[in-house]
């Protein structure tokens, strides 16, 4: 069955209706869980990118891009589960199963397969419930309707009405690492977003390419360039030159952080380093220590002052991200092989200048601790700095409108928008009774809210709030749910 809009657009729905803006992982899972929760609910899932059910993470990827966590950590409560669904696709999992010694739960599978799984679950749900209960609307939400009408205005002029609206727009495109008036912004050799559809191919496969950023986006971009046949040198630049580390299996480490002993980022780092040293002395990978920290990160974050959070973001975050956002073993092997072979060079320092030159871009790089510059002549300059989160200046129509009307309040640290237990807080600081948010948008409240397990817990919590049942009287707080996720997430 084709997933598409039904006959209910521009009409006030008779049944209780919820609009979900964004059909990536967060929005798709929310729609599926809402439909399963209430057999009378009408869900309108709005997506303007064309990636319905897949989103950016699982839609704009190549066969060489793998999930960053194994299959066993990606179960989100759907039927069939991901492992069961993958069990019938062993012909697509040969290398992954070989790497995991035949264990599907421990396998790192192609990222596109998770997108296939979500897209199929959405298609099956649409076929089962019909357009009277699920409409997938392929248009961009540009603003909310003027109160007292609760609803969404689409780019094509249609209006949708609803009892509640969920913002599930996922990660935003990266912010250009260039001055606002830099002419390089408009140079076709500058790729502002490596995931943007229609990104031009590099005509010279032997030329130098410069990447700004050395995180997961950089790794994905290097893999895609090599898989597409690029042979030339690749240089990646970031302030500290840190790259993601790899997953390791084996061993266990119990929760060890006392919340009253982690009242500062410095105290946290000291505790984690001491535990990591103790674990490795016993032959246990340090990865188990990070896993033991993960369930407590939200409560630690909420216990910090704004100044402490700012210090964490400036001084600790790069190291946390390198240890927390890990690579599948064979992806880590490819990265290390590229570094050893000289195909990839990591610069710890900064890009201090760039200019268009002869169909390419000249990039001035200064290594950390050095005064001299090196000029790299590149055929492409690719922005790999990762998703943007500073909503105070984001020009996307929907969020510009929400900000102007005071319906959302960007946080002071540039992480997202202010929320209270998923309810969006306006300029006045009061949480809304009808506007909610999921996923990376809510990072100011929780910090760690980008991985599948945390988002799945957040979705379950919000669904229970929007469609309460008798069994939900003692439903735990979202912070408690994060703690109960356990280690290894």
**pLDDT tens figures, 143-174:** 999 999 999 999 999 999 999 999 999 999 89
What confidence category does residue 344 fall into, taking pLDDT thresholds of 50, 70 and 90?
Answer: very high
Whether the CB-CB separation of 446 and 454 falls below 8 Å is answered with yes
User: Which DSSP string do the residues of 399-435 spell out, in sequence order?
Assistant: HHHHHHTTS--B-TTSSSB-EETTEEE-TTSPEEEEE
What confidence category does residue 182 fall into, taking pLDDT thresholds of 50, 70 and 90?
Answer: very high
Record the pTM. Answer: 0.91
For Cα atoms 293, 294, 300, give the angle at the middle one, nearest 5 degrees: 75
pLDDT tens readout for residues 192-213: 999 887 666 667 889 999 999 9
Would you state the pLDDT for residue 53?
A: 83
**Mean pLDDT over residues 372-396, rounded?**
93
> b/e map of 225-240 (b: 16 or more CB within 10 Å)?
bbeeebebbbbbbbee
Structure tokens at 36: 């399963």
What confidence category does residue 54 fall into, taking pLDDT thresholds of 50, 70 and 90?
Answer: confident
* Residue 84 neighbours by CB distance under 10 Å: 12
pLDDT tens readout for residues 66-115: 998 899 989 999 999 999 999 988 888 988 998 888 999 999 999 999 99
Would you state the pLDDT for residue 483?
A: 47
Q: Which CATH architecture has domain 17-65+110-172+390-483?
A: 3-Layer(bba) Sandwich (3.50)
Say whether 183-244+327-383 and 17-65+110-172+390-483 share the same fold: yes
- Indicate the fold that domain 183-244+327-383 takes in CATH: FAD/NAD(P)-binding domain (3.50.50)
Would you state the pLDDT for residue 399?
A: 96
Q: In the chain, where are the structural domains located? A: 17-65+110-172+390-483, 183-244+327-383, 259-324
Would you state the pLDDT for residue 5?
A: 41
């Amino acid at each position: 069955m084709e997933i598409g809009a039904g006959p209910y657009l521009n009409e006030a729905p008779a049944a209780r209706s919820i609009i979900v803006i964004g059909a990536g992982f967060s929005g798709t899972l929310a729609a599926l869980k809402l439909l399963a929760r209430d057999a009378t609910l009408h869900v309108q899932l709005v997506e303007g990118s064309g990636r319905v059910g897949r989103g950016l993470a699982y839609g704009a990827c190549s066969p060489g891009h793998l999930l960053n966590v194994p299959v066993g950590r990606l179960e989100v409560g759907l039927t069939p589960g991901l492992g069961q669904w993958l069990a019938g696709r062993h012909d697509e999992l040969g290398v992954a199963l070989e790497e995991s010694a035949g264990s599907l739960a421990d396998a790192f599978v192609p990222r596109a397969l998770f997108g296939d799984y979500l897209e199929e679950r959405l298609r099956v749900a649409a076929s089962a419930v019909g357009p009277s209960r699920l409409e997938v609307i392929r248009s961009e939400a540009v603003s909310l309707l003027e109160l007292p009408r609760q609803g969404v205005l689409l780019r094509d002029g249609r209006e949708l009405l609803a009892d509640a609206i969920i913002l599930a727009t996922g990660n935003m495109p990266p912010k250009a690492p260039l001055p606002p008036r830099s002419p390089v912004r408009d140079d076709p050799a500058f790729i502002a977003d490596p995931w943007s559809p229609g990104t031009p191919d590099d005509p010279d496969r032997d030329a130098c390419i410069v990447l700004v950023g050395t995180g997961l986006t950089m790794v994905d971009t290097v893999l895609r360039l090599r898989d597409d046949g690029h042979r030339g040198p690749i240089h990646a630049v970031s302030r500290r030159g840190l790259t993601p580390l790899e997953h390791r299996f084996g061993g266990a480490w119990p929760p060890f952080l006392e919340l009253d002993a982690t009242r500062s980022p410095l105290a946290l780092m000291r505790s984690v380093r001491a535990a990591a040293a103790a674990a490795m002395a016993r032959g246990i990978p340090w990865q188990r220590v990070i896993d033991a920290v993960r369930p407590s990160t939200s409560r630690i974050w909420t216990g910090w002052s704004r100044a402490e959070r700012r210090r964490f973001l400036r001084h600790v975050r790069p190291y946390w991200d390198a240890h927390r956002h890990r690579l599948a073993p064979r992806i880590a092997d490819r990265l290390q092989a590229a570094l050893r072979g000289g195909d990839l060079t990591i610069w710890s320092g900064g890009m201090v200048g760039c200019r268009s030159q002869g169909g390419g871009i000249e990039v001035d790089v200064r290594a950390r601790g050095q005064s001299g510059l090196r000029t790299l002549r590149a055929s492409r300059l690719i922005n790999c700095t990762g998703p943007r989160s500073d909503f105070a200046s984001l020009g996307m129509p929907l969020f510009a409108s929400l900000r102007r009307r005071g319906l959302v309040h960007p946080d002071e640290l540039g992480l997202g928008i202010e929320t209270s237990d998923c309810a969006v807080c306006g300029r006045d600081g009061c949480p809304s009774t009808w506007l909610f948010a999921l996923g990376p948008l809510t990072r100011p409240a929780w910090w760690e809210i980008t991985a599948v397990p945390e988002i799945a817990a957040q979705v379950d919590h919000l669904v229970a709030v929007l469609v309460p049942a008798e069994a939900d009287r003692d439903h735990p707080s979202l912070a408690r749910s994060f703690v109960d996720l356990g280690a290894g997430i």
